[in-house]
Chains A and B, each alone.
Chain A
Amino acid sequence: MTVERRTHDMGGQPAGPINLDEHATEPWEKLITAMVGSLRGRGLMTVDELRRAIEDLSPEDYEKPYFERWSAAILDLWQEKGLLTRTEVEAKMGEIKKRLEG
């Protein structure tokens, strides 16, 4: 039987050395962490759901940096739970971008 091993299930796969360098945390990454705490605190999301949504990202998206994976997964969960649609979030992002540029 051929097993369809999913992208995140990487135990035992060939891999290079781990980069142990410290790196600065961007303000938006802290914001995402706070948002996850808030969503969990309000019972709108569990860590298990977040983990599942991250695992469900496309292999291309799964390669993205840690907090980008988080934000993509949260967006999928909002859509799934009917909290906010991707269109609504993108519209707001566009609005903010315009404000910052203007």
Chain B
Amino acid sequence: MATYKDGDRVKVAVTYPPGHRRVPTYIRGKTGEIERYCGTFANPEELAYGFDGKPERPLYRVRFVQKDVWADYDGPEGDTVDLEIQEHWLSPA
């Protein structure tokens, strides 16, 4: 079911559709690494409007290096941030 495997590099889509979206603006367009596959889940972006969110979509925990996310990040070099993102927001990087 999962398209990506642990360690794959993925890029988050840069798109700003209106409505309830589960990917914060700050991470759109950033590249990270699949930390783990979390299973499939109904799409909350549809559930938010009373639809059933089917078919279920793969969800991944994606790990980003803080320095890649924030231009002015002054914390330790190896700091990371993990976000759980559904597959329709990701493409191979």
Interface residues of A (CB under 8 A from B): 3-5, 9, 11-12, 46, 48-49, 51-52, 55, 81
The list of the 8 closest CB pairs from A to B, nearest first, reads: A52-B48, A48-B47, A52-B20, A48-B48, A12-B26, A11-B24, A11-B26, A48-B44
Residue of B nearest to A2 (CB): B16
* Complex contacts, B49 vs chain A, CB 8 Å: 49, 52
Q: Does B3 contact A (CB under 8 A)?
A: no
Residue of A nearest to B70 (CB): A12
Q: Quote the shortest CB–CB distance from B42 to chain A (angstroms).
A: 9
Q: List 28 A-B contacts (CB under 8 A).
A: A3-B16, A3-B25, A4-B16, A5-B25, A9-B24, A11-B24, A11-B25, A11-B26, A11-B27, A12-B26, A12-B70, A46-B47, A46-B48, A46-B50, A48-B20, A48-B44, A48-B47, A48-B48, A48-B53, A49-B47, A49-B48, A49-B50, A51-B20, A52-B19, A52-B20, A52-B48, A52-B49, A55-B20
* Complex contacts, B50 vs chain A, CB 8 Å: 46, 49, 81
* Complex contacts, A48 vs chain B, CB 8 Å: 20, 44, 47-48, 53
* Complex contacts, B44 vs chain A, CB 8 Å: 48
> For chain B, what secondary structure do more than half of its interface residues adopt (helix, strand, loop), or is it mixed?
loop
Interface residues of B (CB under 8 A from A): 16, 19-20, 24-27, 44, 47-50, 53, 70
Q: Quote the shortest CB–CB distance from B92 to chain A (angstroms).
A: 23
Q: Quote the shortest CB–CB distance from B19 to chain A (angstroms).
A: 8
Instruction: Compute how far the CA of A9 lies from the CA of B70 in the bound complex, rounded to whole angstroms.
Output: 16
Instruction: Compute how far the CA of A81 lies from the CA of B20 in the bound complex, rounded to whole angstroms.
Output: 17
* Complex contacts, B20 vs chain A, CB 8 Å: 48, 51-52, 55
Residue of A nearest to B19 (CB): A52
Instruction: Compute how far the CA of A49 lies from the CA of B53 in the bound complex, rounded to whole angstroms.
Output: 12
Residue of B nearest to A10 (CB): B24
